[in-house]
Amino acid sequence: MTAERTTRGSDGLRVWITGATGGIGSALAGHYASTGCRLVLSGRREDVLTARAGALRRTEVAVLPFDMSSGIEELRRNAAAALAFYDGLDLFIANAGLSQRARVTELDPSDLERLLRVNFTGHAILAQAIIPALRESAGSIAVLSSLAGISGAPLRSGYSAAKHALHGFFDTLAIEEPRIAVTTVIAGFVRTDIGLHAVAPGAGIHGRTDDIHATGSDPDRVARQIVRGVHRRRAVVYTGLGARGVFFRLLRRWARPLLRRILRKHG
Ligand SMILES: NC(=O)c1ccc[n+]([C@@H]2O[C@H](COP(=O)([O-])OP(=O)(O)OC[C@H]3O[C@@H](n4cnc5c(N)ncnc54)[C@H](OP(=O)(O)O)[C@@H]3O)[C@@H](O)[C@H]2O)c1
């Protein structure tokens, strides 16, 4: 497998997607399956993964359920299992994510730790374990970040910290590993269940979809843009921003104090 192979066509590529039980991850699985990639799908809910795999008939799909907040050895075992399905890997999509709707003062410390493990540490440990395989295939890593990964965001302190950490870790990996293409995806507002599972004050669960996500971008459209960016080995892909996200980006670049005031007032 050469670098040309990963940039020209995706037929037969070996793709591992975390967080494939729903939302953006499930949509990505659909797009990669439709171009004949061989998939490894991860998430915690095995029944949902199995159902998704069953629906993707045109390709080989392996299911690898595990919890991203597991310990180091468990994560390494799962990375080894992912590599074993197709004897290597061409693309790793670090997509699993857990959001937050709690102020800094309300966030349970155990939830802060979980946010960091699910969104950041878990993916960093998996990436360490698969680097040799990706080096060999001149493969790629795509990392799902957010506007909260480039700025603070109200009620999302731990989530934002974890997404910022992804940038530092995977940017460094890209510098150290020139054979591996790293694409950081900065997604805006996408219509998924991310709010349902978000952690809430006092170790609670948010349990609902906020308007900003209910009216967000279609996950299939977002997945298509991610696939295109990864295919072209882009360093950064912005997607699902909408007018609000574009405004956010502009203010972040040119008027940070104003952005902070707006976020304080409107969230
Ligand atoms: N939706 C947005 O507006 C938006 C914006 C910016 C960035 N993003 C990012 O996009 C990615 C996908 O999010 P989404 O919107 O598609 O959300 P989603 O529908 O809630 O999907 C999240 C995925 O992560 C998995 N997951 C959650 N906790 C896990 C754990 N402890 N262990 C293993 N897997 C776990 C879930 O699977 P199980 O429940 O089966 O474990 C699910 O497949 C995330 O990284 C998110 O931060 C989303």
Q: pLDDT tens for residues 33-87?
A: 999 999 999 999 999 999 999 999 778 999 999 999 999 999 999 999 999 999 9
Mutation pick for ligand 1 pocket among 159, 192, 222 (CB with most ligand atoms within 8 Å)? 192
pLDDT value of residue 244: 87
Please name every residue paired with 184 in a beta bridge, in sequence order, or none if there are none. Answer: 143, 236
Query: Does 32 participate in catalysis according to the annotation?
Result: no
pLDDT value at position 203?
84
Give the confidence band of 10 by pLDDT, cuts at 50, 70, 90: low
Over residues 111-118, the mean pLDDT reads: 98
At residue 265, the pLDDT reads 83
* Three-class DSSP category at 23: helix
Q: What is the mean pLDDT of residues 92-96?
A: 98
Q: Whose CA is nearest to atom 23 of ligand 1?
A: 19
> Using CA atoms, how far apart are residues 22 and 43, in angstroms rounded to an integer?
9
pLDDT-based confidence at 266, cuts 50/70/90? Answer: confident
Give the domain ranges of the chain: 3-266
Residue 8 has pLDDT above 60, yes or no: no
Tell whether the model's pLDDT for residue 6 goes beyond 60.
Answer: no
Task: Determine the pLDDT at residue 5.
Answer: 40
Ligand 1 centroid to residue 204 C-alpha, Å: 17
Residues 6+ apart with CB under 8 A from 261: none
Q: Ligand 1, from 143, 147, 194, 241: best to mutate by most atoms within 8 Å of Cβ? A: 194
- The CA–CA distances, whole Å, from 4 to 21, 181, 233 equal 30, 12, 11
Q: Which atom of ligand 1 is nearest to the CA of 119?
A: 45
Q: Is domain 3-266 annotated with CATH 3.40.50.720? A: yes
What is the C-alpha to C-alpha distance for residues 197 and 207, in angstroms, rounded to an integer?
6
Give per-residue pLDDT as tens, 118-130.
999 999 999 999 9
Q: How far is CA 255 from CA 48, 145, 250, 252, in A?
A: 43, 22, 8, 6
Question: pLDDT at position 11, please?
Answer: 75
Average confidence score pLDDT of the chain: 94
Instruction: Calculate how far, in angstroms, residue 23's C-alpha sits from the geometric centre of ligand 1.
Output: 7
Q: Which atom of ligand 1 is nearest to the CA of 219?
A: 16
* Per-residue model confidence as pLDDT tens digits over 150-208: 999 999 999 999 999 999 999 999 999 999 999 999 999 999 999 999 999 988 999 99
Q: How far apart are the first and last CA of the chain?
A: 46
Res 2: pLDDT? 34
Query: Is 116 close to ligand 1, i.e. is its CB under 6 Å away?
Result: no
- What is the SS3 assignment for 217? strand
Name which of 74, 127, 123 is nearest 98 in CA terms.
123
- Nearest residue by C-alpha to atom 34 in ligand 1: 43
